[in-house]
Amino acid sequence: MLAGMSPTLQTWEFHKDRIIIEGGRDMGISSWQAESITTKVEKPTPPPPPRGDQDVRDFLEAHCGALVILSEDGLFIKTMRAGVLRALQIKRDCVGAFRDPATALSGIRDQARANVPVLILVDRILAGKPTTEFIRTVKTQYPLLKLIVLTYETTKDSLSLLFEIGADHVVTKPVSVDTLIEKMAGVIKPQSKISQLVQNARVHLEHGEFDKVFGLCEAILAMKQQSPIALMLRGEAFMKNGNKEEAIEEFEKAHKASPLYLEPLKKLADVHRDGNVEQFLTYMLRLDSISPLNVERKCEIGNCYIRKHEPDNAKEFFDKAIACAQEEAKRYLCTIISDMAHAMLEVSPEQSEKYFSQYLDAKGDELSKDDIVAFNSRGIAMRKQGKWREAVENYETALKIDPEDIRLLYNYALAYADGEQHKKAIDLYERVLHKDPEFHLRAAVVSYNIANSYYHVKDIKNAKLYINTALEIDPDHASSKRLLVRIFEASPRNPVRV
Question: What's the CA angle centered on 227, arms 222 and 233, to 5 degrees?
Answer: 100
Q: What percent of the chain has pLDDT over 70?
A: 87
Separation of first and last alpha carbons in the chain:
53
Measure Cα distances from 476 to 143, 268, 480 in Å. 56, 69, 8
- CB-neighbour burial class of residue 317 (10 A; exposed 0-12, middle 13-18, buried 19+): buried
pLDDT band at residue 215, thresholds of 50, 70 and 90? very high
Q: How far apart are CA 420 and CA 456, in angstroms?
A: 8
Question: What's the CA angle centered on 326, arms 321 and 330, to 5 degrees?
Answer: 150
- The gap from C-alpha 110 to its chain's centroid, in whole angstroms, comes to 27
Strands 66-70 and 118-123: parallel
303-313: average pLDDT: 94
Q: How far apart are CA 448 and CA 445, in angstroms?
A: 5
pLDDT at 330: 82
- CB-CB contact of 305 with 314 (8 Å): yes
Can you give the pTM of this predicted structure? 0.57
Count of residues in the chain? 498
Of 68-77, 108-117, 325-334, 488-497, the one with minimum mean pLDDT is: 488-497
Nearest to 68 by CA among 121, 115, 25, 110: 121
What does the mean pLDDT of the chain come to? 83
- Report CA dihedral (324, 329, 334, 335) to the nearest 10 degrees: 110
Residue predicted with more confidence, 331 or 2:
331
Tell me whether the omega of the peptide bond preceding residue 174 falls within 30 degrees of 0, making it cis: yes
pLDDT at 492: 59
Q: What percent of the chain has pLDDT over 90?
A: 45
Mean pLDDT is highest, among 13-27, 259-273, 429-443, for 429-443
pLDDT at 376 over 50: yes
Q: How far apart are CA 257 and CA 143, in angstroms?
A: 24
pLDDT at 494: 52
Residue 170 exposure: Cα atoms within 13 Å on the Cβ side: 21
Nearest to 97 by CA among 128, 141, 66, 129: 66
Strands 38-40 and 13-15: antiparallel
- CB-CB contact of 458 with 432 (8 Å): no
pLDDT at 246 over 80: yes
pLDDT at 490: 83
pLDDT at 37 over 70: no
pLDDT at 273: 87
pLDDT at 328: 80
Residues in CB range of 443: below 8 A, 6 or more apart:
21, 35, 37, 473, 474
pLDDT band at residue 218, thresholds of 50, 70 and 90? very high
Which secondary structure element, helix H or strand E, spans residue 230, and what is its range?
helix 228-240
pLDDT at 89: 84
pLDDT at 25 over 90: no
464-481: average pLDDT: 94
For the chain, list the domains and their CATH numbers: 13-188 (3.40.50.2300), 193-273 (1.25.40.10)
pLDDT at 317 over 60: yes
pLDDT at 392 over 80: yes
- The gap from C-alpha 324 to its chain's centroid, in whole angstroms, comes to 21
Phi, psi of 320 (to 5 degrees): -65, -40
- Report CA dihedral (45, 47, 48, 50) to the nearest 10 degrees: -120
pLDDT band at residue 275, thresholds of 50, 70 and 90? confident
- CB-CB contact of 455 with 483 (8 Å): yes
118-128: average pLDDT: 88
- CB-CB contact of 303 with 318 (8 Å): no
Which secondary structure element, helix H or strand E, spans residue 189, and what is its range?
none
Strands 146-151 and 118-123: parallel
Residue predicted with more confidence, 480 or 155:
480
Could you tell me if residue 237 is left (phi over 0), alpha (psi between -120 and 50 degrees) or otherwise beta? alpha
pLDDT at 46 over 70: no
Could you tell me if residue 242 is left (phi over 0), alpha (psi between -120 and 50 degrees) or otherwise beta? left
Measure Cα distances from 320 to 72, 296, 314 in Å. 31, 11, 10
pLDDT band at residue 498, thresholds of 50, 70 and 90? very low
pLDDT at 369: 83
pLDDT at 428 over 80: yes
Residue predicted with more confidence, 312 or 291:
312
Nearest to 371 by CA among 395, 344, 345, 354: 395
Residue predicted with more confidence, 390 or 227:
390
